Structure 1
Amino acid sequence: MSTVGAESGGSRRYTLGDWNNRSSVRNKKTLYALPPAAEVQLQLRTKGWFPPSFIHYFAHPTIEQASEQTRHRLAANHLVYFLNYTTILEHKIVNRAVETLIHDELRIELPHAMKIAALQLYTDEGYHALFSYELAEQVARFYQMPPWDVPPKRIRLLLDLLDTASDESRPLLWFLVGFVSETIIAKELLDLTGDTLVSTVYQMFREHLEDEARHSRYFSEVFQYLWPRLSSTQQLASASHLIDIILVFSEVDEQWLAASLAGAGISAAEAEHVIQHIVAPQARARRARAGATTTLQAMKRAGFFEQQAHRELFSVAGLIDA
């Protein structure tokens, strides 16, 4: 069901499209339980925990030349980190962004269907946080991973950015964070499910993607609805914030990655070389631009780039061509 447009003529717009029958929290009964250890080991002969093509540092010669056991452990580390990050992102970031729509914090009149869909999306995200948390616990137990209690770098940076906003402008900034997050994560999960993964992990990502594809469309449409209703001052401030947010979602958590590499037996010198390779400014810019493809398309449809000032800002940031 297409969700593009405004409420008119009795048609349902700004919806999540047959949510009662399609949302994973409503119709899936999956437990996302790992098989017995012996079955997991058997699957790992031909499958992985996380697609190597999505783990940027797996292309580094040090990791390419590592043993299969080391690469499996690094991928498992990455999976657990990603799932724990997802739990926090969905629960503390995206759902807070959705609240700005549900509770009229933006002070812009919204269609009724948009608010209902926001409540449905809020429910989805709570479930995503739950199954991400539970699967992360299982994989961590499988490898007896030490706990990692430091909040993910991207979460810290997003919260720092939100703390700098005034009380008046913060609700809009929350929405923009949710918009970027949901349009980026859907693309990430699409990339994730293209590879051969351990069966439980694949199923979780596949069903998560089905929800997130609808969420991405929804946030894109809400952005298109809100953008022309913002003042020119709000639009210009939002343009700068959008760059900051997109760049945050391309950040590498160096502290966690150093610990992950060390735990898998990579020497400190080799680990430093791996990390420096992927945190280089050019590498970061490439990740940001590639990851934000859906976000930038939604902004273009909303007329964002019709303003020369906005195009210049994004060109200077390396997110679009000059």
Structure 2
Amino acid sequence: MCGNAGLFIGCAALSYCPQALLTGPTDPVADAAPGSGAPPAAGSAPPQPPGADGQDGYRSPFGSWYERSAVRSTPRREIPAEHGNDRFFSADLVPVARHPLVQGLPRPVHDQVLIQHLYRYLDFTAKLETLVVNRTAVGIAQGSVGLPLPDAMRIDAYRIYCDEAYHALFSADLAQQVRQRTGIAPLLPAEPFFLRRLRALTADGRQDLAALVELLFVTVSETLISASLSEVPNDPMVVPAVSESIRDHAMDEGRHHAYFAAFLHHLWGSLDIRQRQRAALLVPDLIDAFLQPDREAVRAELAGYGLTTDESYQVVAEVFTDEVVAQHTAATARQTVRHFAGLGVLDVPEVQERFLASGLTC
């Protein structure tokens, strides 16, 4: 889940991976997602994704779900009692681990940096899926989100619900295994950074938009996750159970991306012009809430490894520079921005200016 709460910002893969995977000709998500077009007039039918089958304009990306979803087709990923010198996360994906001050820590302490990063990733996954995404998935499945959706889309929402519940389960299971194998307890904030920021967005004078904000956040997060997971390389030094779990997650999230790209068309078609503009102006904030690093939590963790307060601030300042964060956000969010641009969202000057000011382009 590269990029979640800034977990992987600045990874070595950034220079080649996100843009190539998101914009290349073999991008399965882009092939499955709706194309471009102007937004419909208020009250009109939702736009039809190109190439969709059937009169309802929806082509399910879950045709092989019973055979290929992780919950249906993969075994439990287990960490062996003897895992040798394998690491629990790739150092290439933990930018603070590559800073000279952190690299200079004793090997057991440096290993803890990677283990704690894995704990944060697993905790983020479990809480995102159960506390946010599945609340929306069950609303779609049961028809309580206020949108007229095709029956096939509602059935697929149940499949997403199953997927996300399993992602939360194997994340919690893997975290428990790591603690049993290493004896190292997780050092986690009471709640992930993204939850605090999402709550602030829904409470910041936008009470009338609270439900829409959550629908948009789930749509944004589900299209960002597939881009994030695509950055994760095969690192032979990482415990196989960790790499396999991330790979399982990535396979499922590719289908979720295609689903929520289609869902966005239905959601946008249900809004009037004023609602669309207000919603569009929130999208950069929602992307930022998902991808922005939790600098304060990282600084506190680094202090726990023996770095001084000044050294902890130095590491965070030098790793999470404004330029690096902006580049990572732009690269990871490019396909998400394309989905909104395809609805004509960026044709509105005020919205276009807001996206450009946030460094978001397609």
TM-score bracket, normalised by the shorter chain, equals 0.7 to 0.9
The answer on 1:320 being equivalent to 2:361 is yes
Does residue 1:231 correspond to 2:272, yes or no?
yes
d(CA) in 2 for partners of 1:219 and 1:211? 13
Structure-1 residue corresponding to 2:80 = 35
Contact in 1 for aligned 2:202/2:209 (Cα 8 Å): no
2:136 maps to 97
Quickly say closer, same or farther: Cα 1:306–1:84, change in 2 above 3 A. same
SS of the equivalent of 2:360 reads: coil
2:174 corresponds to which residue? Answer: 135
Counterpart contact for 2:97–2:113, Cα < 8 Å: no
- Asked if 1 retains the 8 angstrom alpha-carbon contact of 2:136 and 2:215, the reply is yes
Which structure would you say has the larger RCO, counting Cα contacts within 8 Å and 6 or more residues apart?
2
Higher mean alpha-carbon deviation, 86-95 vs 58-67, is at 58-67
Report the counterpart of residue 170 of structure 1 in structure 2: 210
Q: Identify which range, 248-257 or 170-179, moves more after superposition.
A: 248-257
SS of 1:40 mapped into structure 2: coil
1:241-298 deviation line (CA, Å, top 9, x unaligned): 1111111122222343133323333333221111223454333322321221221222
* Partner residue in 1 for 2:152: 113
- Secondary structure of 2:291's counterpart equals coil
Q: Relative to 1, partners in 2 of residues 1:278 and 1:165: Cα closer, same or farther, differing over 3 Å?
A: farther
d(CA) in 2 for partners of 1:54, 1:146: 19
Residue 118 of structure 1 deviates from its aligned partner by 0.8
Specify the SS of the correspondent of 2:275.
helix
Q: Could you list the runs of 5+ residues in structure 1 that have no partner in the other structure?
A: none
Where does the alignment leave 5 or more consecutive residues of structure 2 unmatched? 1-27, 34-48
Q: What SS is found at the alignment partner of 1:292? A: helix
Supply the AA of the counterpart residue of 2:196.
R
* Matched-pair contact (CA < 8 Å) for 1:62–1:274: yes
Residue by residue over 1:84-141, the C-alpha shift from the partner in whole angstroms, topping out at 9 and shown as x without a partner, is: 1110011001112223422434423111111111111011101100110111122234
CA contact (8 A) 2:89 2:118 kept: yes
Q: Percent identity?
A: 29
Deviation at 1:169, TM superposition (A): 2.7
Counting only pairs closer than 5 Å after superposition, residues 13-32 of structure 1 correspond to structure 2 as 13-28=59-74, 30-32=75-77
Say whether 1:212 aligns with 2:258.
no
Deviation string 1:201-233 (CA, Å, 9 cap, x unpaired) is: 011111111111111111112113332442111
8 Å contact 1:3–1:17 — kept in the other structure? Answer: no
Question: Is 1:150 equivalent to 2:190 in the alignment?
Answer: yes
1:168-317 aligned within 5 A = 168-196=208-236, 197-317=238-358
Query: How far, CA to CA, are the matches of 1:92 and 1:194 in structure 2?
Result: 29
Checking the alignment, whether the CA contact within 8 Å between 1:3 and 1:14 is kept in structure 2 is no
Most deviating of 194-203 and 65-74: 65-74
Distance 1:165 1:33, change over 3 A: farther
Letter in 1 for 2:130: H
Q: What is the rounded CA distance, in whole Å, between the counterparts of 1:147 and 1:260 in structure 2?
A: 8
Secondary structure of the equivalent of 1:35? coil
TM-score normalized with structure 1 length: 0.87
Distance 1:74 1:239, change over 3 A: same
Deviates more, 1:253-262 or 1:74-83: 253-262
Match of 1:161, SS state, is: helix
